Amino acid sequence: MSKSLVIVESPTKVRTLQKYLGKDYQVAATMGHIRDLPAKEIGVDVEHGFKPKYTTIAGKTKIISELRKKAQTATDIYLAPDPDREGEAIAFHTAEILKKNGRSFHRVLFHELTPKGILDAIQHPIKLDIHRYEAQQARRVLDRIVGYQVSPLLWRKVKIGLSAGRVQSVTLRIICDREKKIHAFTPEEYWSITALLEGKTKEAFEAKLVKKNDKKIKISTEEEATCIINELNNASFILSDIVQKDTTRNPLPPFTTSKLQQEAIRKLKFSAKKTMMVAQQLYEGIDIGQETVGLITYMRTDSTRIANEAALEAIEYIQAQPNLGNSFAVSKPRFFKNTKKVQDAHEAIRPTSVQRTPESLSNRLSADQLNLYRLIWQRFVASQMMATKIAQTTFQITAQNYLFTASGSIVTFPGFMALYQSEEDSSKEEKVLLPNLQKNTSLSCQTFSPKQHFTQPPPRFSEASLVKELEENGIGRPSTYATILSTIRDKGYVNLEKGYFRPSELGFIVNDLLIASFPDIFDVAFTAKMEDELDLVESNDRSYLAVMEPFYASFKKDLDSASDKMINMKGVGVETTLLCPTCQASLYVKMGKNGHFIACSNYPVCTFSANYARNDKGEVVLEEADPSEVIDAVCPKCNRPMTIKQGRYGKFLACTGYPDCKSTESHSSLGQSKDTGVKCPNAGCEGMLVEKQSRRGKIFFACNQYPKCDFATWDRPVSRPCPVCNASFLAEKTSKKKGNYLACVTLDCGHEEIVEEKS
């Protein structure tokens, strides 16, 4: 008897599905994409309708063979990769390799991996969506054309190994543009004046000076502030008006992908990549004891839509809680409107059952899973709770022709905030109480507090604010944000410093070259428009070719021009305003195999070169020598002084007589290895283990008596004897299952102990 075959994307889902579908179904996984554009060529026929050339992905031949084997007796195949564009492409490619006369293919969309969600989806399959597939194909081909034709240009003009991307490079531009605004910013001084006042109740409160002669006041200097205070020293302060207002604050909608990423970054300190990884685990199924079940709905969505039955379940839960009850629950489900551009294929991210509370799952989930699940669960349940009520009071105080104000607010009914507060809610919620005073009351001023301030430049982007910026500008899709942010860091274009993105010098160089050569392709508005075009392809309002042809015509024109006109950073470089200290010729920024540097334009007559940095205004300045790296060494070949240089694998010593003398030595010859405090374990050796660096920059630990003693290890030694075999030290190790732990390196000992992480 033939069994129907269900094919999913991830192997994690197989066990969950097999359990609920029963013995009449086989379940198999593609392990992601099985076909893609070839890795070593562009794989797109731009001359004949931009037809892609798909090939089997390396390592997927065995998986395809297993799928064919399982499909041998199946007449009905249910294609159930993820319910998005990428999943649609996997479904189409799977159908292509398994097509056979008499065999039927059905598309299944699992929005939640629960018994009801699984059975409903199987019982109501749909047809494969050619338009969604073409939208994915258009994005893939666009990205391939840009990446495979601009990246080699950067290799020739800047440095081997660089990459450009249609969305990646626009993200870099957004970060660089913000940095340039910071460089251009000139802070302005201003002052504020706060008065400490009290009335008949003798309860002191603060009021801020806001107006003079009914106009907003601006105090630029300390002298101006002092002058105003002198005018007010003998003034009468009158509480001229009291404004009281009751306001309400409604809960936010359940999470979309980008909003989940932003909140997880802020509240849980997760990266966007980690958020998506943990959310995938919660969606695909968790063993909660009696069953393996998906705990949340599909996590790639930009819709705030929720099912009516899910909202009703949340309302019933709220009503049943003794600490909440009917007064906290809305009387009927609260729904949220989507914006016009939202794809409404999926619900918002919510728990598949509100009854599975975070507390009930605390012993079944990892710490990361539990924290993210709690965030999703609370946000959804809060969306069906009553609004928070806040009483606001504002005092208006007159003193001569000046106006002071004092504001306070208090939560009179917590509403949804009893369960969940976003960062935005937390920052707005004030608990400032003003004294109970009557209008026209005379007040006495205890003190004045003048304070100096300076206007601040726009802040650098954090992961959360960058995701928000991408979303608001229509750049990429929420499912791609994590990959984009990882790529620009991995390529060395940006650094994440204290939680904020800052362009590297390489990032600035690449960004400036790309903008100059491709003003349209890497423009924020243009990229957002292309996202709209892809949406139109999916909705069958625009054809594949209608998107590809105009894009490529413009791109090809810029590409041909850039091949000739893009500045060659390996050759001429970019001129700076600096002059060579040796011959007074112009200095140029260039790129060598070891990175960027500054060099004299009069080369080879003048061989001056140096490292450089950028000051607070973004201007190129010569980097001063680090006093700690002044060395007293001479070249063993020509007796000229040696200097420290930066190479591909770190620092090294080079003769100052270059290019006449090309002698070099290892930087480690200066004896700058770090002592670990651990004695070498080799019998009879009196050496100590020191930290060293391999030619490729990897840290290892070796005896300082090398070459007499050749002991070395990749694991960091810790000066703690093994409690089992009395070995002189333990070694730090890390694994996915165990995390950080210490282990004895003695063969056959096997002692291990977990390292407690510092808070």
pLDDT surpasses 70 at 594: yes
Least confident span in 260-264, 273-277, 340-344, 443-447: 340-344
Rounded-to-integer distance, Cα 31 and Cα 209, Å = 64
18-27, 121-130, 259-268: the lowest-pLDDT one: 18-27
Q: Choosing from 54, 283, 298, 588, which is the catalytic residue?
A: 298
Q: How far apart are CA 243 and CA 110, in angstroms?
A: 53
What is residue 696's predicted lDDT score, i.e. its pLDDT? 56
Asked which of 78-82, 220-224, 510-514, 680-684 is least confident by mean pLDDT, the reply is 680-684
DSSP label at 704? T
Predicted confidence (pLDDT) at residue 342 exceeds the cutoff of 60: no
How high is the pLDDT of residue 677? 84
140-183+460-565 and 189-250+389-454 share one fold: no
Cβ contact 569:509 at 8 Å: yes
Answer whether residue 632 shows pLDDT above 80.
Answer: no
State the pLDDT at residue 346.
Answer: 77
Q: What is the pLDDT of residue 722?
A: 85
Question: How would residue 1 be classed by pLDDT, with cut points 50, 70 and 90?
Answer: low
Residue 465's Cβ-count burial label (10 Å; 0-12, 13-18, 19+) is: middle
Question: Per-residue pLDDT for 758 more than 50?
Answer: no
pLDDT over 90 (residue 657): no
Place of tokens 């002052």: 191
Phi, psi of 734 (to 5 degrees): -140, 140
C-alpha closest to that of 429 among 464, 390, 395: 390
User: Quick one: pLDDT band at residue 228, thresholds 50, 70, 90?
Assistant: very high
The residue count of the chain comes to 759
User: What pLDDT is stored for residue 759 in this prediction?
Assistant: 33
Cα–Cα distance, 442 to 6 (Å, whole number): 80
Write out the CATH class of domain 4-128. Answer: alpha beta
Q: What is the CA radius of gyration of the chain?
A: 33
Determine the pLDDT at residue 667: 59
* Tens-place pLDDT, residues 549-568: 999 999 999 999 999 999 99
Chain centre distance of CA 302: 17
Judged against a pLDDT cut of 60, whether residue 545 lies above it is answered with yes
> Given a cut of 90, is residue 536 above it in pLDDT?
yes
Summarize the confidence of residues 382-395 as an average pLDDT.
Answer: 94
Name residue, tokens 């021009």. 561
| Spatial distance between the Cα atoms of 468 and 488, rounded to a whole number of angstroms | 17
Q: Which CATH superfamily is domain 140-183+460-565 in?
A: Topoisomerase I, domain 2 (1.10.460.10)
Contact 195, 206 (CB under 8 A): yes
CB 44 within 8 A of CB 37: yes
Model confidence at 705, pLDDT cuts 50, 70, 90, reads confident
Show the tokens assigned to 259: 């909003």
Whether residue 311 is predicted with pLDDT greater than 70 in this model: the reply is: yes
For 356-361, what is the mean pLDDT?
95
Cis before residue 581, ω within 30 degrees of 0? Answer: no
CATH class of 189-250+389-454: mainly beta
298 given a catalytic annotation: yes
Nearby residues of 731 by Cβ (< 8 Å), 6 or more positions away: 713, 715, 716, 717, 718, 742, 743, 744, 745
Tokens representing residue 311 in the block:
């909202």
Q: 549 by DSSP, 3-state: which?
A: helix
Terminal C-alpha separation, the chain: 59
Q: Which residues contact 228 (CB under 8 A, 6 or more apart)?
A: 193, 209, 219, 402
Sort strands 25-29 and 4-8 into parallel, antiparallel or unpaired.
Answer: parallel
Residue 520 confidence (pLDDT) above 70: yes
Can you give the pLDDT at residue 630?
46
Domain boundaries in the chain? Answer: 4-128, 140-183+460-565, 189-250+389-454, 257-386, 574-669, 673-754
> Please, which pLDDT band fits residue 502 given cuts at 50, 70 and 90?
very high
Kind and range of the H or E run holding 655: strand 650-655
pLDDT at res. 712: 86
Name the one residue in this structure whose structure tokens are 């282990």. 743
Residue 280: CB atoms within 10 A of its CB come to 16
CA distance 76 to 634: 79
Cα–Cα dist 741/728, whole Å: 17
pLDDT tens digit sequence for 478-493: 888 888 999 999 899 9
Q: Which residues pair with 447 in a beta bridge?
A: 196
pLDDT above 70 covers a percentage of the chain that reads 93
pLDDT value of residue 627: 45
Q: Mean pLDDT over residues 301-325, rounded?
A: 92
Residue 338, classified by CB atoms within 10 Å of its CB into exposed (0-12), middle (13-18) or buried (19+), is middle
d(CA 693, CA 676): 14
pLDDT digits (tens, 9 = 90+) for 565-587: 999 999 889 999 999 999 999 99
Q: Look-up: residue for tokens 């201003």?
A: 190
What is the pLDDT at residue 750? Answer: 79
CB under 8 Å to 271, separation ≥6 — which residues?
A: 265, 463, 482, 485
Task: Name residue 611's beta-bridge partners.
Answer: none
Give me the phi and psi of 139, to 5 degrees please. Answer: -60, -45
Closest to 9 measured CA to CA, from 75, 71, 63: 63
Please tell me the predicted confidence (pLDDT) of residue 733. Answer: 85
Pairwise pLDDT comparison (321 vs 595), residue with the higher score: 321
What's the rounded Cα separation, in Å, for the pair 143 and 151?
A: 11
pLDDT band at 423, cuts 50/70/90? low
- 538 conformational bin, left if phi > 0, alpha if psi -120 to 50, beta if neither: alpha
d(CA 599, CA 569) in angstroms, rounded, equals 11
User: CA-CA distance, 681 to 684, in Å (whole number)?
Assistant: 9
- Residue 261 reports pLDDT greater than 90: yes
Residue 646: is its pLDDT beyond 70?
Answer: no
Measure the CA dihedral 489/492/494/496, to 10°: 60
CA distance 298 to 108: 14
Q: Which CATH architecture has domain 257-386?
A: Orthogonal Bundle (1.10)
Q: What's the whole-number average pLDDT of the chain? A: 88
Mean pLDDT throughout 521-549?
A: 93
Give the mean pLDDT of 360-365: 93
Please give the pLDDT value at position 628: 44
Q: Is residue 457 reached through a cis peptide bond, with omega within 30 degrees of 0 on the bond before it?
A: no
